[in-house]
Amino acid sequence: MAPTPYLELKDICKDFSGVRALETANLSVAPGEIRCLVGENGSGKSTLIKIVAGVVHHDRGEIRIDGHSFSRLHPIDAIREGIQVIFQDFSLFPNLTVAENMAMNTLLAERRRLVTRRRIRDIAGEALSRLGVELDPEALVEDLPVASKQLVAIGRALLQNARLIIMDEPTAALTRPEVRRLLEIIRALKERNIATLFVSHKLDEVMDVSEQITVLRNGRVVADEPRAAFDAARLVFCMTGRRIAQARRSAVPERTDTPLLSLRHLSRKGSFRDVSFDLWPGEILGVTGLLGSGRTELALALFGMEPATEGEIRIEGREVSIRSIHDALRNGLGYVPEDRLTEGLFLSKSLADNAAAGTARDLAGRLGLLPPRAVLRFGEDWIRRLRIAAPSASVPVRNLSGGNQQRVVLARWIALSPKVLVLNGPTVGVDIGSKSEIHAILEDLAAKGMGILIMSDDIPEVLHNCNRILLMKRGRIVEEFDGAATDENELARKLAG
C-alpha cells in the first residue's frame, strides 16, 4: 500500500536480565505517516523507542532506516538519519532560555568555539517559524508551562532536520486545549513529510490523531492496522487481552440523616471559592476539572496541608477545624496524593514499610517496640487483601508496576480506616487492567460505608465510578451531574468549554 517505509524494524528481540522485553516485534513507519504505538505499562513501548533512538541495543532482528541497515544502532546514527525522540522529561536545560535550548544542538553540531547571541536568536527564530507558534525566545525554560516546554523540545527536534519525531506520552501533563494544539502541530508536520510516532495509552487521542496503530502487549505486537480497523473497545481488548466491561456504578447509597462530610462556602484565597457540597456514607463523589481548576487545592485543604481560610467543614454533622494534617487524620480524613512517585511512596523502601507508614504507631506494642517481623506480616496481609502482585512484602516498592504501587498506597490508608478517603488522580499512570481493579477496591470501600471523593480529569473514570460528579472551574463548583444521567461527550464539552 504505502511507499518504502522510512523506518523498518523486523523481528526485534530484547532481553533484560533474563526477562523478555520484546519478542520478534515489527514496526514500520512510512515517510510523513502518523503512527500510534499503544500498550499498557510494561508492554515494551519504552524499550522499542529506546532501540529506535539507539539508546538500547537490540539482541536480534533487523533495523532499516531510509534503506540503510544497522546491526547496532548508535544514538548518533539515529540522529543523523533524522530520528528525534522527545522523552517525557523533554531533556531541556531549565536554567537556559528558549532560544539557547533550541540552538544548543545545532551549535554543537557546527563545532563552533565561540557563540554569539545573534546566532542563537537566528537559529531559534527559524525553529519557531517552522513550528508556527509564538514563544518568547528570551524566556527561561523553567518558567514555562509544560506545554510550552514541549514546543521547545519539538522545535529543537525540527532544527535537526528530523524526518521522524517520536513522542513518548506527550500528553501526560497537558490540558485539553493544549492537547488539541499538539495534535494540530503533528498534522502540520505531516504536511511537510515529517512522520510522527505517537506513544500513548490515552485512547481518545490515539483514535483522534493516528493513521496507523501498532499495539504491543507483553513485548509482542498484537495488532498493526489502519486506524479505521479499530474502535475503542477493540483497542482496549488488544491492549489488555480481555474485555473490560465499563459498567456504570449502580449502587446508590441510602441517604441517612447526616452526611458524612459537608462543606459550606469553603474558600482559600487564590485557590478555590465558595465550595459547598455533601458526601453521604457509601457514596463515591467525583470532582473533575482541568489542571488549575482548584481541585488539587481543595483536596489539600481537606487534608490540612493548605488549610481553607473561610467556610466550614462538618464531619458527621459536627463542625471541625482542619488546620493541619494531624487535624485531618484525627477527624477521619485520608488523602491519596496526586503524584505517587514523589508524594505517595518511599521508593527505595519495602512494600511492607510503605504500607505500614501510617499505622506504625498502632502496630507497635508496649514501649513503642515494633519488630520488623510485625511490619512484614502487615505487608503480607495487605498483599493478600488487595491482591498486590509482588514476590514478597520485602521487595522495594520501586520494583512494582504503577497499579500495584497505587494499591500499596491504598493499603496504607485503608489500614487507618478513615471515614472519608480523598483520592487525587487515583489511577494516573496505571494500566487499564489494574485500573478497573483499583476501582473495584473503591467500590468495595464505599459499600462498607466509607465516603469516597475522587479528584480526577479522567472523564471515563469519574463517569463510570461516581454517583455524582461536580465540575470545577476557576476555583468554583459550576455544575453537578448525576453519574447515571450524563455521558462522556457532555462532560468533555462542559470540561473544555
Partner 1 sequence: MKTPLRFLRDENGLWRLLLVTAVIFATLSFLVPGRFLSVRNFASMSFQIPEIGLLSIAMMAAMISGGIDLSAVGIANLSGILASQFLLHYAPEGAGGTWAALVVAVSVGISLAAGAGCGLLNGLLVTRVGIPPILATLGTMQLFSGLAIVLTRGTALYGFPDAFLILGNGYLFSVPVPLVLFAVAVLLVGVLLRRTSFGFSLYLVGTNPTAARFAGLDNAAILVKTYMLSGVLCASAGLVMFARTNSAKADYGVSYTLQAILVAVLGGTNVAGGFGSMAGLVLAILSLQFLSSGFAMLRFSNFSKEFVWGALLLAVMALNVLGDRAARKMQGRKNGTAPQAGGETEELR
Site string for partner 1, 6-25 (x = CB under 8 A): ----------xxxx-x----
320 binds partner 1 (CB under 8 A): no
The residue from 325, 460, 486, 494 that contacts partner 1 (CB under 8 A) is: 325
Question: Of the ranges 109-117, 275-283, 364-372, 470-478, which one interacts with partner 1 (CB under 8 A)?
Answer: 364-372
**Which backbone phi and psi does 469 adopt, to 5 degrees?**
-130, 130
Which residue number, 211 or 381, has a Cβ lying nearer to partner 1?
381
Shortest Å, Cβ 59 to partner 1:
12
489 binds partner 1 (CB under 8 A): no
Report the distance separating Cα 350 and Cα 19, nearest Å: 22
Number of residues binding to partner 1, judged by CB under 8 A: 52
CA distances from 468 to 377, 419, 448 (A): 38, 18, 18
DSSP letters, 78-126, are: HHHTTEEEE-TTTT--TTSBHHHHHHHHHHHHHT-SS--HHHHHHHHHH
The residue from 67, 241, 270, 372 that contacts partner 1 (CB under 8 A) is: 372
Instruction: Please give the single-letter amino acid code of residue 476.
Output: R
The residue from 13, 56, 244, 252 that contacts partner 1 (CB under 8 A) is: 56
Cell of 170: 506527550
Question: Of the ranges 181-189, 308-316, 388-396, 442-450, which one interacts with partner 1 (CB under 8 A)?
Answer: 388-396
358 binds partner 1 (CB under 8 A): yes
Cell of 478: 459550576
Structural contact between residues 62 and 11, judged by C-beta atoms closer than 8 angstroms: yes
Report the chain's terminal Cα–Cα distance, integer Å.
40
Closest to 460 (Cα-Cα) out of 497, 440, 494, 489: 489
Site string for partner 1, 264-303 (x = CB under 8 A): ----------------------------------------
Residue 405's CB is within 10 A of a number of other CB atoms, namely 25
Which residue number, 43 or 456, has a Cβ lying nearer to partner 1?
43
Closest to 336 (Cα-Cα) out of 221, 400, 423: 423
329 binds partner 1 (CB under 8 A): yes
Question: Of the ranges 202-210, 336-344, 448-456, 477-485, which one interacts with partner 1 (CB under 8 A)?
Answer: 336-344
Footprint of partner 1 on residues 400-419 (CB under 8 A)? Answer: 400-401, 404, 412, 416
495 binds partner 1 (CB under 8 A): no
Cell of 30: 512510512
Structural contact between residues 190 and 32, judged by C-beta atoms closer than 8 angstroms: yes
Report the distance separating Cα 348 and Cα 23, nearest Å: 30
Shortest Å, Cβ 368 to partner 1:
5
The residues of the shown chain that bind partner 1, judged by CB under 8 A, are 16-19, 21, 42, 44, 46-47, 50, 55-56, 305, 325-326, 329, 335, 337, 342-349, 353, 356-358, 360-361, 363-364, 367-372, 375, 389-391, 395, 398-401, 404, 412, 416
